[in-house]
Structure 1
Amino acid sequence: MALLEFLIAIFGATMLLLFAVRMVQNGIERMKGPEFKRILTNAKNPYRAALAGTAMAVLLQSSAAVAILTAGFSTGGVLSIAMGLAIILGADVGSAIVVQILSLDLTWLAPVLMGVGAWLYLKFNGRNIRQTGRIMLGISLIIVALGFLRDAVTPIKESDLLPAMEAFLEADLVLAFLVGMVLAFLMHSSVAAVLMIAVVSAAEAISQPVGIMLILGANLGGALVPVWITRAMPIEARRPVVANVALRGLTAAFIATLYAYQLIDQWVHMLPSLVLVHFAFNVLLLLYLPFTPWIGSAVERAMTNGKGDHPTPMAERSLLDENALDSVQQSLASLRREVVRMTNISEQMIRESLAWYLCQKLPNFEQLERESNLLHNAGQAVRLYVTRMPSKEMTKAQFRRLRDLADYALSIEASTAILSQRLEGVIRAQHARNLYFSESGAAELRTIAEQCLHNMINSYELLVNEDIETAREIFRDKDELGMLVAKSRKKHLLRLREGLEKSIATSEQHLESLAALKELNAQLVSIAYPILKREGQLLQTRLILDGKGQEL
């Protein structure tokens, strides 16, 4: 019975810990997500890149999240392998700092954060204020979860079970290393895994040698998580995370071997806690920073796609299954897969185009034209496929889903037209005439482009999960982008009145960019409307009504 109670308590505390870490991460991403790419891609040397990675991991409380972001930015060559690896090495130090902070006795802080966080989240409508409340709630739940873990371990350490398990692992330190690796991988969070190991160790439920081997294994297991998540991404995205695993795995295995043979045990035992062992290990890995260019070159030679150093081409084969037309469920699934494929092509096009506003990188116009044709053909195929689906046999819910998918396919096509007919024209004109926005104007457009990319990612996630909270968040972000556009237009007109030369020269391009980005964002987030309407989350009209319910 004691064993069952222990397992239930450990399971509940672990799930709460993972949920809380994810809650903090989501809050930070939603509040500052559009700025992350600028922070990570502005680094000009490995040391600044590592510092950026450290700061990002402290904010997100997850080195894996930073590694996945880095992998995404590496697609298309925005980040080199060397800079990406440096960011990830720094992020691991950042997550170790988070572990250091959370391992302190902060039980007194939990009710304060919980009360203030809940008040901010429930009583305010501003996005940043609500996300600040979410972050505070998440941190308080992390503290509570760690308290649950301590309470769960304390009674069981007096039994025969835990000492027997600990003795088994101490007799085979290689197994302890593997257990730590598997634990961190399954939890998908090295922060949560290390905190759990540290709590168990602090309760004297495991010996220091076992704890050290678990920590070393958890460091490798945490690095494997981004590799698993990015396994389907282009090879450019996978290179930095694979390089990190190689360095981390070799270093962890080397140190574990030295420790197992008692060659460095005196130095390691000088560290007073396992969290300091974890921190020291990640700081040690920074010794690789000066060598990241050579490591990057070696990884690039080892990981080739057989087609030179070009991005992997977008899949051109339609996912519409003609054989599925006899079944409502299968044809809907086929349609959904094709719309997801269209979003992938659209995302590649949007990232390529908006790179001009984010980092002054000229897009590949030939690639954009090719992908535009792909989307146009896919849109035509979707419309034809919809007419042949067995709509008479559908339930109301299935027919709504069909309509929503078809409408969103049209929105994706419309977004392509905005890119090719409006933004591409602006970029070509600026490049041909060697025109550049003013510093203030460029910053405004960059912020709007970042917000547009952020909304695009959330919208594509909504296509898969149909989460009502995500839909509400997207709707708020749409209004926020509209306010950013209005403020930028007003500031631009003020700059024109002041006679700023660059603003006058690029006035047409600036205003056209604002209008196009706003329209592009409206098309991207249109997937949220049917979900909100279906759930009764939208008002019928925004017009003020008089006392009789008539429009004024």
Structure 2
Amino acid sequence: MALLQFLIAIFGATMLLLFAVRMVQNGIERMKGPEFKRILTNAKNPYRAAMAGAAMAILLQSSAAVAILTAGFSTGGMLAIATGLAIILGADVGSAIVVQVLSLDLSWLAPVLMGIGAWLYLKFNSRNVRQTGRIMLGISLIIVALGFLRDAVAPIKESDFLPMFEAFLAADPVLAFMVGVVLAFVMHSSVAAVLMIAVVAGAEAISVPVGILLILGANLGGALVPVWITRNMSIEARRPVVANVALRGITAAIVAALYAGQLIDDWVHMLPNLVLVHFAFNLVLLLYLPFTPWIGRLVKRAMVNGNGDKVTPMAERSLLDESALDSVPLSLSSLRREVVRMTNISEQMIREVLGWYLHHKLPNFDQLDRETQVLHDAGQAVRHYVTRMPSKDMTKAQFRRLRDLADYALSIDASTAILSQRLETVIKAQQARNLYFSESGAAELRTIAEQVLHNMANAYELLVSEDIEIAREIFRDKDELGMLVAKSRKKHLLRLREGLEKSIATSEQHLESLAALKELNAQIVSIAYPILKREGQLLQTRLILDGKGQEL
């Protein structure tokens, strides 16, 4: 009975810890998500890249999140392998700093953060204020979860089970190392895994030598998480995370072998606790920073696709299943998969075009033309498929889902037209006349482009999850982007009045870019409207009404 209570307590505390870490990460991503790309992609020197990665991991409370962001930005060669690897190495040091801070006795701080965080989240409408409250709530829950872990371990350490399990691990260092790997991978968070190991060791439920081997294994397990998540991404995206796993795995295995062989145990035991062992190990990995360019070239030779390093065309095979048309659930599932595929293609196209505004990188127009045709064909196929679906057999909820998916497929098609007919025209005109936006104008357009990409990521998540909170966030972000566009238009007109030469030369391109980006964003986030309307989260009109409910 005691063992069952222990397992239930450990499970509950672990899930709360994972939820709290994710809560903090989500809050910071929603506040500062559009700025992350600029921070990471502007860091070219390996040491600056490592510092940027460390800062990002401290903010996000997760080195895995930074590694996944880095993988995404590496697609299309936007980040070199060496830079991406340096960012990830720095991120691991940042997450070790987070573990160091959270391992302190902060029980007194939890109620303070919980009270202030809940007040900010519930009483304010400003997005940043609400997300600040979310972050504070998340940190307070991390502290509470660690307290639960300590309380759960305290009774069981006197039983026969835990000493027996600990002795089993102590007798087999390889098994102890692998348990650490599996623990961090299953938890999908090295921060949570290391904190758990440190708490259990601090309660003297496991010995320090076993704890050290678990920590070393957890470092490898945490690095495997981004590899698993990015397994279906392009080879450019996977190279930095695979290089990190190779370095971390080799180093962790060597250190574990040396420690188990009692060759470095005196040095390791000089550190007062397991959290500092974890921190010291990640500092050691920074010794690879000067060699990241050489490692990058080696990884590039080892990981090549069938076309060398050419951009692989988007998959052109439709996911619409003709054999599923006799079944409502199967045909809806097939339609949803096809819309997700269209969204993926559209996302890559949007990133390719907006690269001009973010990094002044010329898009691959031939590839965009091919993918425009692929999306147009997919949109036509969706329309034809919808007309043959068994709509008479559908419930109201299923029919609404059908309509929402079909409408969003049309929005994706419309967004493609904005890219190919408007934004590409602006880019080609600037290229032909060798024109550049003014520094202020370029900064405004870059901020708006970053917000569009952020909204696009949320819209894709909403398509998969239908989370009402994400839908509300998207709607708020749409209004915020509209305000950014209005401010940029006003500032541009002021620059014209002042006679700024670059603003005059690119006035038409600037205003067209603003209008196109705003319309593109509207198409991207249109997935939120039916969900908000269905849940009663939208007002019928924005016009001011008199006391009788009539429009003034």
User: Which blocks of at least 5 consecutive residues in structure 1 are unaligned?
Assistant: none
Task: Give the equivalent residue in structure 1 for 2:329.
Answer: 329
Is 2:474 the counterpart of 1:474?
Answer: yes
1:136-155 mapped onto 2 (5 Å cutoff): 136-155=136-155
The alpha-carbon deviation at position 350 of structure 1 amounts to 0.1
Partner of 1:400: 400
Residue identity in the other structure for 2:188: H
> Equivalent residue for 2:212?
212
Residue 312 of structure 2 aligns to a residue in which SS? coil
**Which residues of 2 match residues 430-449 of structure 1 at below 5 A?**
430-449=430-449
Q: What's the CA shift string for 1:27-79, capped at 9, x where partnerless?
A: 00000001111000001211111111000000000000000000111111101
Q: What letter corresponds to residue 478 of structure 2 in structure 1?
A: K
Is the CA contact (8 Å cut-off) linking 1:235 and 1:312 kept in structure 2? no
Residue of structure 1 in register with 2:70 after alignment: 70
How much has 1:90 moved relative to structure 2?
A: 0.5
Which residue matches 1:97? 97
How do 1:40-189 and structure 2 match up within 5 A? 40-189=40-189
Residue type of the alignment partner of 2:407: D
Residues in 1 aligned to 2:426 and 2:530: alpha-carbon distance in whole angstroms: 32
TM-score computed with the length of structure 1 as normaliser: 0.99
TM-score in terms of structure 2 length: 0.99
**Residue deviations 1:256-288 (CA, integer Å, cap 9, x gap):** 000011000000000001000000000100010
Provide the residue aligned with 1:486 in structure 2. 486
Equivalent position of 1:358 in the other structure: 358
Cα distance in 1 for residues equivalent to 2:50 and 2:319 = 41
The structural deviation recorded for 1:106 is 0.7
The Cα shift of 1:124 comes to 0.4
Q: In the alignment, what sits opposite 2:306? A: 306
8 Å Cα contact 1:180/1:217 also seen in 2? yes
The answer to whether the aligner puts 1:420 opposite 2:420 as a matched pair is: yes
1:369-402 deviation digits (Å, cap 9, x = unpaired): 1110111111111111111111111111111111
1:126 counterpart letter in structure 2: S
Letter paired with 1:256? A
SS at match of 1:548: coil
Number of corresponding residues: 552
The 8 Å contact of residues 180 and 216 in structure 2, kept in 1 or not, is answered as yes
AA paired with 1:480? E
Aligned partner of residue 43 in structure 1, secondary structure: coil
Residues 351-379 of structure 1: CA distance to partner in whole angstroms, max 9, x if unpaired?
00000011110101111111101111111
Q: Which residue of the partner structure matches residue 14 of structure 1?
A: 14
Aligned position for 1:251: 251
The percent identity for this pair of structures is: 88
CA RMSD of aligned residues (A): 0.7
Paired position in structure 1 for 2:295? 295
**Distance (whole Å) between structure 2 residues aligned to residue 138 and residue 364 of structure 1:** 42
4+ residue runs over 2 A deviation: none
Deviations 1:449-495, CA, capped at 9 Å, x for gaps: 00000000110111111111110110001001001111111111111
Contact 1:215 1:274 in 2 (8 A): yes
Mapped to 2, the partners of 1:47 and 1:287 lie a distance apart of 11
The one-letter amino acid paired with 2:271 is L
- Looking at structure 1, the residues matched to 410 and 541 of structure 2 have their Cα atoms a distance apart, in angstroms, of 24
Kept in 2, the 8 Å contact 1:318–1:338? The answer is yes
* CA drift at 1:311: 2.4
Q: How far off its partner does 1:100 sit?
A: 0.5
Give yes or no for contact 1:75–1:311 (8 Å, CA) kept in 2.
no
1:194 equivalent in structure 2? 194
Structure 1 Cα separation of the partners of residues 397 and 444 of structure 2: 42
Aligned amino acid, residue 487 of structure 1: K
Deviation at 1:312, TM superposition (A): 2.4
Contact 1:236 1:311 in 2 (8 A): no
Residue identity opposite 2:69 in structure 1: L
The CA distance in 2 between the partners of 1:6 and 1:392, in whole Å, is 53
* Alpha-carbon distance in structure 2 between the residues aligned to 1:11 and 1:332: 36
Partner Cα separation in structure 2 for residue 323 and residue 3 of structure 1: 50
- Inter-partner Cα distance in structure 1 for 2:113 and 2:460: 32
Partner of 2:500: 500
Distance in structure 2 (CA, Å) of the matches to 1:460 and 1:170: 46
- 1:342 is aligned to 2:342: yes
What is the rounded CA distance, in whole Å, between the counterparts of 1:313 and 1:334 in structure 2?
Answer: 22
For 1:327 and 1:110, the matched residues in 2 are separated by 51
2:426 touches 2:512 (CA, 8 Å); kept in 1? Answer: yes
In 2, the alpha carbon distance for the partners of 1:306 and 1:155 equals 57
Distance in 1 between residues matched to 2:393 and 2:122, nearest whole Å? 43
- Range that drifts further, 177-186 or 318-327: 318-327
What is the identity, as a one-letter code, of the residue corresponding to 1:488? Answer: S
Show the 5 A alignment for 1:25-40. Answer: 25-40=25-40
Instruction: Please list every run of 5 or more consecutive structure 2 residues that lacks an aligned counterpart in the other structure.
Output: none
Report the secondary structure of 2:329's partner residue. helix
Distance 2:545 2:195 in 1: 55
Which residue pairs with 1:274 in the alignment?
274
Partners of 1:357 and 1:446 within 8 A in 2? yes
Q: Distance in 2 between matches of 1:490 and 1:340?
A: 37
Residue aligning to 2:519: 519
